[in-house]
């Protein structure tokens, strides 16, 4: 069973607010992208790795991650994933893994690949939700929002990456894209492909905000000691 990994890294990192696109922000000596690609290679599941970056950073990325094929991404995350699909070649299983989750442990990759290999066309890692979740009345801009309901968190999972698909399932999922999905499994669900969840890991967290970047830099500094 051959496995291709697509790493979308073409986002701008608006919520992070750094002067360079998120994947090119440094955690110690290495960029988020370099740490992520090293982690994917360490996991030992990938036959090919495709990295998708902003068009003006393709040459920089080729120098940074010579082990990977580097292509230019698009405006939405799903456009970037499709650019990666065109470059990944023939693979039985395709994993889509956010560059912004550089510490994802090898075992998570293993669980996702194993579950796809066992016959599930779409598999995502997820974790139970710890906080109490409340739904608010939308549209309040005053900063004080009214609660409409408390949501039952028991059946909810916070979804991470790598998300794994058979090649056909990923193609079918992306054939019907409206540009609004925040993950690939969401597209698969919309075309009726069953999606299954395996256990994720806290270390697979996504670097999204300055707080996350602080934690990421602490993790790197700690592992260097
Ligand atoms: N991504 C991408 N192409 C895009 C948008 C996002 O390849 N057009 C990638 C990001 O680089 C990231 C992953 O998708 O690795 C998850 O997206 P997110 O965390 O939202 O990153 P950004 O879009 O860069 O951040 P923000 O939404 O804060 O701008
Ligand atoms: Mg984004």
pLDDT over threshold 80, residue 50:
yes
Phi and psi based region of residue 192 (left: phi greater than 0; alpha: psi -120 to 50; beta: remaining):
left
99 lines ligand 1 (CB under 6 A): yes
Helix (H, G, I), strand (E, B) or coil at 42: helix
Complete domains list, the chain, with CATH: 3-128+155-224 (3.90.550.10)
| Ligand 1 atom at shortest distance from the alpha carbon of 74 | 8
* Higher-confidence position of 143 and 213: 213
pLDDT over 90 for what percent of the chain?
A: 93
The per-residue pLDDT for 177 is 75
Radius of gyration of the chain, Cα coordinates, nearest whole angstrom: 18
Closest listed ligand to the CA of 80: 1
| Ligand 1 atom at shortest distance from the alpha carbon of 99 | 15
Residue 148: how many CB atoms within 10 A of its CB? Answer: 11
pLDDT over 70 for what percent of the chain?
A: 100
Q: Measured in whole angstroms, how far is the alpha carbon of residue 135 from the centre of its chain?
A: 25
The per-residue pLDDT for 176 is 76
Q: Whose CA is nearest to atom 17 of ligand 1?
A: 11
The per-residue pLDDT for 141 is 85
Q: What is the mean pLDDT of residues 145-163?
A: 97
| Ligand 1 atom at shortest distance from the alpha carbon of 100 | 15
In angstroms, the CA 104 to CA 84 distance is 20
The per-residue pLDDT for 180 is 75
pLDDT over threshold 80, residue 215:
yes
22 lines ligand 1 (CB under 6 A): yes
The answer to whether the beta carbons of residues 42 and 106 sit under 8 Å apart is yes
Helix (H, G, I), strand (E, B) or coil at 130: coil
pLDDT over threshold 90, residue 133:
yes
Q: What is the mean pLDDT of residues 35-46?
A: 98
Rounded to two decimals, the pTM is 0.97
Which residues have CB atoms below 5 A from the ion given as ligand 2? 11
In angstroms, the CA 85 to CA 96 distance is 9
| Cis amide prior to 171 (ω within 30 degrees) | no
- Mean pLDDT across the chain: 96
In angstroms, the CA 111 to CA 115 distance is 6
**Helical (H) or strand (E) element with 133:** strand 133-136
In angstroms, the CA 26 to CA 72 distance is 21
The per-residue pLDDT for 57 is 98
For the ranges 81-85, 138-142, 169-173, 220-224, the lowest mean pLDDT is seen at 138-142
């Amino acid at each position: 069973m051959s496995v291709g990994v697509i790493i979308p890294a073409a986002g701008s990192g608006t919520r992070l607010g750094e002067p360079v696109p998120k994947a090119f922000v440094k955690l110690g000596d290495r960029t988020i992208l370099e740490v992520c690609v090293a982690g994917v290679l360490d996991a030992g599941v990938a036959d090919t790795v495709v990295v998708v970056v902003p068009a003006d950073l393709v040459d920089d990325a080729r120098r940074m991650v010579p082990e990977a094929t580097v292509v230019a991404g698009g405006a939405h995350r799903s456009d970037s994933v499709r650019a990666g699909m065109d470059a990944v070649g023939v693979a039985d299983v395709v994993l889509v893994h956010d560059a912004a989750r550089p510490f994802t442990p090898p075992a998570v990759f293993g669980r996702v690949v194993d579950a796809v290999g066992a016959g599930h066309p779409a598999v995502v890692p997820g974790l139970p939700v710890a906080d109490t979740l409340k739904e608010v009345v939308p549209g309040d801009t005053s900063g004080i929002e009214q609660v409409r309901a408390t949501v039952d968190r028991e059946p909810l999972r916070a979804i991470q990456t790598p998300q794994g698909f058979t090649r056909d399932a990923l193609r079918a999922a992306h054939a019907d894209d409206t540009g609004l999905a925040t993950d690939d499994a969401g597209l698969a669900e919309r075309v009726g492909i069953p999606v299954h969840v395996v256990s994720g890991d806290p270390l697979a967290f996504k670097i999204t905000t300055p707080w996350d970047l602080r934690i990421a830099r602490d993790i790197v500094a700690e592992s260097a000691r």
